[in-house]
Amino acid sequence: MKRSFILTLALAALLANVVVLPAQGTLLAAPNNQTAVNGNTVAYVDHAHGSFIQIGPRLWKEILNGRVGHFTEEARDEWSVYLKKTNGVRIQIDLWTKKISQLKEGNKLELYTINQSKSVNGSNVAMVRHSRGQFTMTGPGEWFENLDDRTGIFREESRDEWSVYLIKENGVRIQLDLWTGMVSQLANGQQKPLYTIDDSST
Protein backbone atom coordinates (compact mmCIF):
# COMPACT_ATOMS: atom_id res chain seq x y z
CA MET A 1 0.00 0.00 0.00
CA LYS A 2 2.79 2.37 0.98
CA ARG A 3 4.78 1.46 -2.13
CA SER A 4 1.73 2.08 -4.36
CA PHE A 5 1.20 5.50 -2.79
CA ILE A 6 4.86 6.45 -3.36
CA LEU A 7 4.66 5.37 -7.03
CA THR A 8 1.51 7.47 -7.49
CA LEU A 9 3.24 10.55 -6.09
CA ALA A 10 6.27 9.98 -8.32
CA LEU A 11 4.09 9.67 -11.43
CA ALA A 12 2.19 12.87 -10.55
CA ALA A 13 5.46 14.78 -10.13
CA LEU A 14 6.70 13.51 -13.49
CA LEU A 15 3.51 14.54 -15.32
CA ALA A 16 3.60 17.98 -13.71
CA ASN A 17 6.87 18.71 -15.47
CA VAL A 18 5.84 17.50 -18.92
CA VAL A 19 5.51 20.28 -21.51
CA VAL A 20 3.43 19.44 -24.59
CA LEU A 21 4.58 21.32 -27.68
CA PRO A 22 2.18 21.97 -30.58
CA ALA A 23 2.81 20.03 -33.78
CA GLN A 24 3.85 21.86 -36.93
CA GLY A 25 0.85 23.58 -38.47
CA THR A 26 -1.16 23.68 -35.23
CA LEU A 27 -3.49 26.69 -35.21
CA LEU A 28 -1.90 29.20 -32.83
CA ALA A 29 -3.03 32.61 -31.64
CA ALA A 30 -2.24 35.28 -34.21
CA PRO A 31 -0.39 38.55 -33.46
CA ASN A 32 -2.29 41.59 -32.17
CA ASN A 33 -5.19 39.42 -30.93
CA GLN A 34 -6.32 38.66 -34.47
CA THR A 35 -8.05 35.56 -35.78
CA ALA A 36 -5.69 32.57 -35.95
CA VAL A 37 -3.80 32.61 -39.24
CA ASN A 38 -3.99 29.82 -41.82
CA GLY A 39 -4.43 29.54 -45.58
CA ASN A 40 -8.08 30.57 -45.38
CA THR A 41 -7.57 33.68 -43.27
CA VAL A 42 -4.10 35.06 -44.03
CA ALA A 43 -3.99 38.59 -45.45
CA TYR A 44 -0.37 39.58 -44.79
CA VAL A 45 3.04 37.92 -44.58
CA ASP A 46 6.49 39.40 -44.39
CA HIS A 47 10.02 38.07 -44.84
CA ALA A 48 13.59 39.35 -44.72
CA HIS A 49 13.32 41.25 -48.02
CA GLY A 50 9.72 42.50 -48.05
CA SER A 51 6.09 41.48 -47.73
CA PHE A 52 2.87 40.36 -49.40
CA ILE A 53 -0.36 42.10 -48.39
CA GLN A 54 -3.92 41.50 -49.57
CA ILE A 55 -5.37 44.79 -50.83
CA GLY A 56 -8.64 43.54 -52.34
CA PRO A 57 -10.88 40.44 -52.61
CA ARG A 58 -8.40 38.67 -54.95
CA LEU A 59 -5.62 41.25 -55.26
CA TRP A 60 -2.26 41.20 -53.48
CA LYS A 61 0.62 43.66 -53.42
CA GLU A 62 4.24 42.60 -53.07
CA ILE A 63 6.95 44.85 -51.69
CA LEU A 64 10.39 43.43 -52.48
CA ASN A 65 13.50 45.45 -51.66
CA GLY A 66 11.54 48.67 -52.19
CA ARG A 67 9.92 47.58 -55.47
CA VAL A 68 6.17 47.04 -55.78
CA GLY A 69 4.42 44.32 -57.75
CA HIS A 70 0.84 43.06 -57.98
CA PHE A 71 -0.53 39.51 -57.93
CA THR A 72 -3.93 37.92 -58.47
CA GLU A 73 -5.06 35.28 -55.99
CA GLU A 74 -5.72 32.02 -57.83
CA ALA A 75 -6.65 29.69 -54.97
CA ARG A 76 -6.37 28.87 -51.27
CA ASP A 77 -6.25 25.67 -49.26
CA GLU A 78 -6.01 24.98 -45.55
CA TRP A 79 -2.46 26.29 -45.23
CA SER A 80 -1.54 28.11 -48.45
CA VAL A 81 -2.42 30.96 -50.78
CA TYR A 82 -1.50 30.69 -54.47
CA LEU A 83 -0.76 33.90 -56.39
CA LYS A 84 -0.05 34.73 -60.03
CA LYS A 85 1.65 37.80 -61.49
CA THR A 86 0.76 39.26 -64.90
CA ASN A 87 4.08 37.95 -66.28
CA GLY A 88 3.07 34.40 -65.33
CA VAL A 89 5.16 34.06 -62.15
CA ARG A 90 3.33 31.86 -59.63
CA ILE A 91 3.89 32.10 -55.87
CA GLN A 92 2.84 29.87 -52.99
CA ILE A 93 2.58 31.38 -49.50
CA ASP A 94 2.70 28.33 -47.24
CA LEU A 95 1.77 28.88 -43.58
CA TRP A 96 2.48 25.22 -42.73
CA THR A 97 6.15 25.24 -43.74
CA LYS A 98 6.52 29.03 -43.19
CA LYS A 99 7.96 29.32 -46.72
CA ILE A 100 7.26 31.51 -49.76
CA SER A 101 8.08 29.61 -52.94
CA GLN A 102 7.96 30.09 -56.71
CA LEU A 103 6.04 27.38 -58.60
CA LYS A 104 7.34 26.57 -62.07
CA GLU A 105 6.75 23.56 -64.32
CA GLY A 106 5.84 21.30 -61.42
CA ASN A 107 8.83 22.36 -59.34
CA LYS A 108 8.94 24.43 -56.16
CA LEU A 109 11.77 26.91 -55.54
CA GLU A 110 11.91 28.20 -51.98
CA LEU A 111 12.50 31.96 -51.92
CA TYR A 112 11.95 33.29 -48.39
CA THR A 113 11.09 32.24 -44.84
CA ILE A 114 7.94 33.84 -43.42
CA ASN A 115 8.70 35.96 -40.35
CA GLN A 116 5.20 37.18 -39.50
CA SER A 117 1.65 36.59 -40.71
CA LYS A 118 -1.65 38.34 -40.02
CA SER A 119 -5.26 37.66 -40.88
CA VAL A 120 -6.73 41.16 -40.67
CA ASN A 121 -5.58 44.38 -42.34
CA GLY A 122 -7.01 47.70 -43.47
CA SER A 123 -8.49 46.18 -46.60
CA ASN A 124 -10.68 43.55 -44.96
CA VAL A 125 -11.30 44.55 -41.33
CA ALA A 126 -14.97 44.78 -40.37
CA MET A 127 -14.85 44.83 -36.56
CA VAL A 128 -12.50 46.40 -34.02
CA ARG A 129 -12.95 45.99 -30.28
CA HIS A 130 -11.30 47.93 -27.44
CA SER A 131 -11.69 48.15 -23.67
CA ARG A 132 -14.70 50.50 -23.77
CA GLY A 133 -16.60 49.20 -26.78
CA GLN A 134 -16.22 48.46 -30.46
CA PHE A 135 -16.61 49.64 -34.05
CA THR A 136 -18.58 47.35 -36.39
CA MET A 137 -19.14 47.68 -40.14
CA THR A 138 -22.88 47.36 -40.71
CA GLY A 139 -22.98 47.91 -44.47
CA PRO A 140 -20.98 49.29 -47.39
CA GLY A 141 -19.28 52.42 -46.05
CA GLU A 142 -21.27 52.38 -42.78
CA TRP A 143 -19.91 51.75 -39.27
CA PHE A 144 -21.64 51.52 -35.89
CA GLU A 145 -19.84 52.54 -32.70
CA ASN A 146 -20.71 51.18 -29.28
CA LEU A 147 -18.91 53.22 -26.59
CA ASP A 148 -19.78 52.52 -22.96
CA ASP A 149 -23.57 53.12 -22.95
CA ARG A 150 -23.55 55.39 -26.01
CA THR A 151 -23.83 54.58 -29.71
CA GLY A 152 -22.89 56.45 -32.86
CA ILE A 153 -22.93 56.15 -36.65
CA PHE A 154 -19.81 56.72 -38.77
CA ARG A 155 -19.24 56.87 -42.52
CA GLU A 156 -16.15 55.24 -43.97
CA GLU A 157 -14.03 57.81 -45.79
CA SER A 158 -11.15 55.62 -46.98
CA ARG A 159 -8.86 52.68 -46.30
CA ASP A 160 -5.19 51.97 -46.75
CA GLU A 161 -3.11 48.87 -46.14
CA TRP A 162 -3.48 48.94 -42.36
CA SER A 163 -6.17 51.52 -41.46
CA VAL A 164 -9.80 52.49 -41.87
CA TYR A 165 -10.70 56.20 -41.69
CA LEU A 166 -14.16 57.11 -40.37
CA ILE A 167 -16.09 60.36 -39.98
CA LYS A 168 -19.12 61.11 -37.81
CA GLU A 169 -21.87 63.55 -38.83
CA ASN A 170 -20.50 66.07 -36.29
CA GLY A 171 -17.14 66.01 -38.09
CA VAL A 172 -15.25 63.78 -35.65
CA ARG A 173 -12.70 61.69 -37.55
CA ILE A 174 -11.41 58.31 -36.35
CA GLN A 175 -8.56 56.09 -37.53
CA LEU A 176 -8.68 52.35 -36.84
CA ASP A 177 -5.03 51.37 -37.20
CA LEU A 178 -4.35 47.62 -37.34
CA TRP A 179 -0.59 48.14 -37.64
CA THR A 180 -0.12 50.07 -34.39
CA GLY A 181 -3.13 48.45 -32.72
CA MET A 182 -4.66 51.83 -31.86
CA VAL A 183 -7.95 53.71 -32.31
CA SER A 184 -7.15 57.40 -32.67
CA GLN A 185 -8.97 60.69 -33.23
CA LEU A 186 -7.71 62.85 -36.11
CA ALA A 187 -7.98 66.64 -35.80
CA ASN A 188 -5.99 69.59 -37.16
CA GLY A 189 -3.36 67.30 -38.62
CA GLN A 190 -2.78 65.66 -35.24
CA GLN A 191 -3.38 62.09 -34.13
CA LYS A 192 -4.74 61.57 -30.62
CA PRO A 193 -4.61 57.93 -29.40
CA LEU A 194 -7.88 56.93 -27.72
CA TYR A 195 -7.90 53.16 -27.19
CA THR A 196 -5.77 50.08 -27.70
CA ILE A 197 -7.32 47.53 -30.07
CA ASP A 198 -8.00 44.29 -28.19
CA ASP A 199 -9.48 42.29 -31.06
CA SER A 200 -10.27 42.61 -34.78
CA SER A 201 -11.96 40.47 -37.39
CA THR A 202 -13.17 40.47 -40.99
Tell me: pLDDT of 80 over 70. yes
Q: What confidence score (pLDDT) does residue 101 get?
A: 98
Q: What confidence score (pLDDT) does residue 35 get?
A: 56
Provide φ and ψ at 185, rounded to 5°.
-95, 135
Q: What confidence score (pLDDT) does residue 16 get?
A: 40
Over residues 79-88, the mean pLDDT reads 96
Contact criterion met (CB below 8 Å) for 178 and 171:
no
Average pLDDT score, the chain: 85
pTM of structure: 0.68
Provide φ and ψ at 85, rounded to 5°.
-90, 160
Q: How confident is the model at residue 144 (pLDDT cuts 50, 70, 90)?
A: very high
Tell me the CA end-to-end span of the chain in Å, nearest whole number: 59
Tell me: pLDDT of 29 over 80. no
Domain limits, the chain? 31-118, 127-201
Q: What confidence score (pLDDT) does residue 57 get?
A: 83
The strand pairing partners of 177, in sequence order, are 163, 182
